Amino acid sequence: MVCRARPRDAPLEFMLYKTLSAAVYGIDANIIQVEVDCSGIKTDQDHFHTVGLPDAAVRESRDRVRAALKNCGYDIPPTHITINLAPADIKKEGSGFDLPMALGIVGAYGGLTKKEIPDCLFVGELSLDGGVRGIRGTLPIALEARSRKVSQLVVPEANAREAAMVGGVDVYPVRSLLDVIHFVNSGNGIVPLKADGDALLRESQEFLVDFKDVRGQQTAKRAIEIACAGGHNILMIGPPGSGKTMLAKRMPTILPPLTFEEALETTKIHSVAGVLDPGSGLVGKRPYRSPHHTISDAGLIGGGMIPRPGEVSLSHNGLLFLDELPEFPRNVLEVLRQPLEDGSVTIARAAMSLTFPARFMLAAAMNPCPCGFRNDRTRECQCTTPMIQRYISKISGPLMDRIDIHIDVPAVNYKEMRSSTDPEGSGKIRERVVRTRGRQLERFSSSREKLYCNAQMSSRHIRTFCELSGDCERLLERAMMQQGLSARAHDRILKVARTIADMEETAAIEPKHIAEAIQYRSLDRTYWT
């Protein structure tokens, strides 16, 4: 049976109908008004025009909308239909406008009891049978709706849990266009979804891996604990099979849990990138990203005609692990300089410039030479000096300066592998890391900038929080002169020393803390000279 807004013989009444939707730019959203106008001029077939800088996906929506309305029992009278997406000077992309467009057409033909819907925002892609499919970027849309005092949000059922993480907005999950029309006409039939973000975070703190699985490598574990306690970047160098990747995979298990604000920030990025698990609604664990060394610079940093987040942004508030570091193309590694220094990445295009957050810990692993057995006591290295230099030279000095801790990871001997002593688990290490991070948060609470760990300190903060005694000054000066370290390396040493002192609950940095921090820069001299 065909449903019409008016009987067949009755004169058609047309009107302008407006609904609200949203478009995502970067990791933020803008409210978009969807205006649907029917001319009332009868034609041989309906003429469907979309204006307001739509992209290809938005222009294609006319066919999806037409089919969805037909299969839901609605006929589009043969007239001129003009849909304006305002403001018209902003580029519109994606399929999320399907639902408000279809709703506006039904309203323009008198199929809705409400003349306007000012306090409700609609997003969703339509399937040809009238179903509502999930879209990207629902969380930024929900946040923008709250900031613009829009009290109701109608979203696809697949995205509802994600949007419900935002308090102050009633989120209505829908499965079909008919559900939405019934909801608008009757005002009931759909119960707003509620979600407890804090409970979800607590439930997400289980890991499948643990540091108790790692035998030996006490020195490497110590360095990793320091790195996690202060948010420092770390490079592990060792032969194949020494456990570098195994150690890196377990680093998220000792990082502090995400705060709710950090979880929302991380979820926004994953939602926009389309990698958010629909069933979760919230990223409850710190991200762990490990891209293959064949990745392009755009894949790592982000890019595209309309820029999308890359791996560095998907690692925001988490860990980016680059295995086999020298195998990455040099131009790919060099794009890491800005995000490692600034905690963000800016992607400029002719039409727009977008900034994505990229505050992450970098963990990298590499072999000491192409064959991997340089300085190995049991296996002979087959590499010549020029081969080793070419291999190592893929990693530039400026990039090495931005890595706070360099640690040698030797092969594990048989006795360590077969030892009956159980290694320390991730739980105990994490408790120490959380305590150390707590001291840092307390220290930075008076700072105007948002600082979460020692690695984020600027030069001004270093001068304030890293005061040195005369013995520490002399020790650091001697190391700088002997190893030829840069000013950036000087700051990194002080940050690591500050973290070591925090782990020992010491207010002042002592010479032993400086000495240990310098020790973690010794590979500069060993491998890059």
DSSP H or E stretch at residue 500 = helix 487-503
Return the CATH fold of 16-186.
Ribosomal Protein S5; domain 2 (3.30.230)
List b or e across 199-232, with b for residues whose CB sees 16 or more CB atoms inside 10 angstroms.
ebbeebeeeeebbeebbbbeebbebbbbbbbbbb
Residue the block writes with tokens 């020298």? 326
Return the CATH fold of 204-453.
Rossmann fold (3.40.50)
pLDDT in tens, 355-382: 999 999 999 999 988 888 887 777 888 8
pLDDT at 526: 59
Check whether 524 has a pLDDT greater than 70: no
Label residue 102 by pLDDT band (50, 70, 90).
very high
Check whether 216 has a pLDDT greater than 60: yes
Least confident window among 62-71, 121-130, 161-170, 478-487: 478-487
How long is the chain?
529
Check whether 252 has a pLDDT greater than 90: yes
pLDDT above 70: percentage of residues in the chain: 95
Label residue 56 by pLDDT band (50, 70, 90).
confident
Average pLDDT estimate for 167-196: 90
pLDDT in tens, 386-398: 888 888 888 888 8
pLDDT at 211: 92
> Which of residues 188 and 67 earns the better pLDDT score?
67
Label residue 21 by pLDDT band (50, 70, 90).
very high
Q: Residue ranges per domain, the chain?
A: 16-186, 204-453
Query: Is it true that the peptide bond before 87 is cis, omega within 30 degrees of 0?
Result: yes
pLDDT in tens, 293-339: 999 999 999 987 778 899 999 999 999 999 999 999 999 999 999 89
Residue the block writes with tokens 């600027």? 458
pTM comes to 0.89
DSSP string of 419-459? -SSPPPPHHHHHHHHHHHHHHHHHHHTT-SS---SGGG--H
Mean of pLDDT over the chain: 88
Alpha helices per DSSP H over 17-114: 56-59, 61-71, 98-108
